[in-house]
Structure 1
């Protein structure tokens, strides 16, 4: 039987006051000393060091993200102009009513959604397929990582120069391939029916490597024993992919899909550099409309309003997607 005795701070025990002496069944004793009084002080010191290390980031975060965001929300309630000092005349929610009824805003938002569909679905599926193929190689995975990820590190200006040359009428590589096949090549950047598709293909080639790396990392987390057990049970490659790999990659797929949808909704640079929103405004996205309104028409207040509405829409889409994936994960 184990006994517990309370000790006072005297010479008979040699233990500090408040200590407990535990007598074990075999006759041995063990002292159970209380926590040190300076533990809370040490915790406060560590907490202070943590705040000290994070303070530079928090300051920069407040200056360059929180502050501009709050100013953007405030200016959306005013008739602010870049050619006039101050916020201008207070107009309340009239800018929001105008934005929600602006056909050009919804037209550019439709272009943004169409671009998101053209890029998000292929970037999720192709990256998964390529990761499955690369994972079958026992050696040389580093080569595929470098080969697929290399375009992703290039700046958008370099990507645009490469693909504008490839799409160039009569002298580009893509029209030459079409001509070699005996097919009349369309004007990829000059035809409204092809321009958004051309930009989407460029984006897929450029950003495929990021999703590929995520999927390849997820595949390497699946134990080999699971594949071996399935093979012993007679499951073929397609059955293992369908019933083992894809379900075990569900969290990775949810992450890739969310990141890809958000990135596609924020499209601006490659469209602005490749087509400038043309031809005939057929590729003009929401962010370019915001840019033109603020820096070309100098209507900074209304541009802020459109930006707030666009951010709220993107946030709603993102939250809905995350909630859907969580519900499916719980159901599984």
Structure 2
């Protein structure tokens, strides 16, 4: 039985080793060299890593990525959860909307960016036209350094919330119905049921989605590359975009590899911090806490 299990695992483990572990080992070695794709290379030790913290452009890219993450993660969580709650019903039309909301996830980034490039046009874009209907003069979006990053965040949330919505739908359908019944018997209204039953019951799902959003936010590249090319004024240069420019633009593969491992450490740190802040409680303890919170809220109403 164990032999059969290893036979089934052999192919995915081999693919993981060849396409994940081996490239990581090679990149780790390259990060200690001045490898530039063409020509000879020499061993430079930790010179690439010490150079990173003296690189002013690295801090610009890190600041832009942090700003993107700060906007993208909460907005992505709220929209995905809100949509999942609205579509957590057994009706025929709901399935249609689930499919429609998931379509951007499987669409190519270039096609999505082309659509949003038109939507965000400062003169004829649909978004500014709609704002004009209510008397608001829309910004230049992709041509304004203050609005370029929020514009990329809007596109990213729209393009990716469908996948997180599906995850939240799975979590919502796993919430025990007796918790809602007990809350209704205690006199809880719809908002109190959502706050004291739904949200605590989705703690594990929220942890998963938030972790995926954090990792995706620090790895953002396609949107900035297609929409703004890092502009205007380097306001949308992200960490991965900077790594790409150093590796394939300036041919500094050694330095780009070092930047990649620094980004890897940053992602690990933020993921662990998120895990520490949102550690899921045990199911039985969660149920007892939910009942106490619901009764307290109803009694104070």
How high is the TM-score relative to the length of structure 1? Answer: 0.81
User: 1:112: which partner in 2?
Assistant: 65
Matched, 1:269 2:230: no
CA distance in 2, matches of 1:134, 1:320: 31
For 2:266 and 2:186, the matched residues in 1 are separated by 48
**Number of positions where the alignment pairs a residue of Structure 1 with one of Structure 2:** 283
| Structure 2: gaps (5+ residues) | 287-301
Quick check: 1:62 aligned with 2:14? no
| Among 74, 81, 84, the residue aligned to 1:121 | 74
What's 1:51 paired with?
Answer: 6
Task: Decide which structure has greater helix share.
Answer: 2
Give me the whole-angstrom Cα distance separating, in 2, the residues matched to 1:163 and 1:49.
Answer: 49
**Displacement after TM superposition at 1:233 (Å):** 2.3
Shift of 1:156: 0.7
- Say if 2:182 is the partner of 1:259: no
Deviation at 1:171, TM superposition (A): 2.1
Task: Write out the 4+ residue segments of structure 1 that deviate beyond 4 Å after TM superposition.
Answer: none
Q: 1:196 aligns with which of 115, 137, 149?
A: 149
Task: Report the Cα offset of residue 147 of structure 1.
Answer: 2.4
> What do residues 77-109 of structure 1 show as CA deviations (whole Å, max 9, x unaligned)?
111112214xx1111111111112211111101
> Offset of 1:179 from its aligned partner?
3.0
Superposed CA deviations along residues 249-297 of structure 1, whole A, max 9, x for unmatched, are 1111111111111111110011110101111110000001111011111
Cα distance change, pair 242–179 in 1 and its aligned pair in 2 (3 A): closer
Answer 1 or 2: higher relative contact order, Cα 8 Å, separation at least 6.
Answer: 2
- Among 285, 289, 303, the alignment partner of 2:256 is 303
Matches within 5 A, 1:186-225: 186-225=139-178
**Alpha-carbon shift at residue 193 of structure 1 (Å):** 0.7
Q: Cα–Cα, structure 1 residues 179 and 320, in superposed 2: closer, same or farther, change >3 Å?
A: closer
**Residue 219 (structure 1) shift:** 1.1
Structure showing greater radius of gyration is 1
SS at match of 1:90: coil
Q: Any idea what the Cα deviations from partners look like across 1:221-248, whole Å, max 9, x if unmatched?
A: 1222322232122111111111111111
SS at match of 1:281: coil
Alpha-carbon deviation of 1:206? Answer: 0.9
Query: Which residue among 130, 136, 151 is the counterpart of 2:83?
Result: 130
Distance in 2 (alpha carbons) for counterparts of 1:325 and 1:182: 42
Once the two structures are TM-superposed, the CA of residue 184 in structure 1 deviates from its matched residue by 2.4
Distance apart, 1:176 and its partner CA: 1.8
Return the TM-score normalized by structure 2.
0.89
Matched residue, 1:43: none
Which runs of no fewer than 5 residues in structure 1 stay unpaired? 1-45
Match of 1:81 among 36, 39, 42: 36
The SS at the match of 1:92 is coil
1:108-187 → structure 2 map (5 Å cutoff): 108-135=61-88, 137-140=89-92, 141-187=94-140
Structure 1 residue 51: deviation in Å?
A: 2.1
- Counterpart of 1:277 in 2: which secondary structure? coil
Higher strand share: 1
C-alpha distance in 2, partners of 1:203/1:104? 24
CA RMSD, aligned part only?
A: 1.7
**Distance (whole Å) between structure 2 residues aligned to residue 108 and residue 265 of structure 1:** 11
